[in-house]
A = this chain, B = another copy of it.
Amino acid sequence: MKNLIIASTSTIYGSGFLEYLLPELREHFKSIKSLLFIPYARPGGISHEAYTEAVAKSMQSLSIAVHGIHEFDDPEKAIEKAEAIFVGGGNTFVLLKALQQKKLIDPLRIVLDKGTPYLGTSAGSNIVAPNVKTTNDMPIVHPTSLDALNLIPFNINAHYLDPIKNSTHKGETRPTRIKEFHVYNSETVLGLREGSWISVKGEKMLLKGPFSAVVFRRNMNPFEIETDSDLGILLT
């Protein structure tokens, strides 16, 4: 039974790393003593060691020990044996390419499908979807494919931003980019605002956090979905 938290961001403005999620994580990780952290997305090019250290610090208040996957000789076995797994944010292309090169896509999908508790933030949330073609990140490396774990039936747009009214900038807005995505792809996209997350328990998917989210479906106008809504509606 899938048991996932899929968060737009690790950090909200004016708050520490993962701080806003701690009440939810206390419940999500309640029987967990150790967490496997996958630091491959490397925000700002940070080292695996430094990134893992930041996660370990944030998990202290939950009394959870954190180990980075880079500490293990056999990362596939580390995934199979993990009590719980967290994939942090950074660059989605860098993350996906590392998982592909180390042949960890299938092992990760298998354990998450079986119920290993998972936390994804930002890039770590994008990879739970059918593909990462709705990332906001810069394609600084080139993965062999943009297909991802496909554990939920829709794509994520993390750090979702509403268009800025009266902007003079001519670069595309987020809704314009997602509309272009739907010229070539059929997956529904959920625009997840910073501070919101999706809770997946088996086939039950709920939108959580303080904000509504925006649903983009092919050939339809985008619409808002309220927090605490059942996201099963996105399946049909």
A residues apposed to B, CB below 8 Å: 9, 11-14, 42-45, 90-91, 93-94, 132-142, 145-146, 158-159, 161, 168-172, 176-185, 194
B11 to A170, Cβ gap below 8 A? yes
- A140 CA / B9 CA spacing, docked (Å): 22
Contacts beyond the supplied A44-B179, A158-B171: 6 A-B pairs with Cβ under 8 Å: A12-B170, A90-B180, A133-B141, A139-B146, A140-B181, A142-B146
Q: Is the interface of A mostly helix, strand, loop or mixed?
A: loop
Check if A13 sits within 8 Å of B170, measured CB to CB.
yes
Q: Could you tell me the distance between the alpha carbons of A94 and B13 in the complex, rounded to whole angstroms?
A: 34
Q: How far is the CB of A135 from chain B (nearest CB, A)?
A: 7
Q: How far is the CA of A177 from the CA of B185 in the complex (A)?
A: 26
Give the docked Cα–Cα distance between A179 and B90 (Å): 12
Q: For the complex formed, measure the closest distance between the CB of A125 and the CB atoms of chain B, giving whole angstroms.
A: 13
Residue among A140, A145, A182, A184 facing the most chain B CB atoms (10 A cut-off):
A140
Q: Min CB distance, A183 to chain B, in Å?
A: 4
B139 touches A184 (CB 8 A): no
Q: How far is the CA of A76 from the CA of B110 in the complex (A)?
A: 47
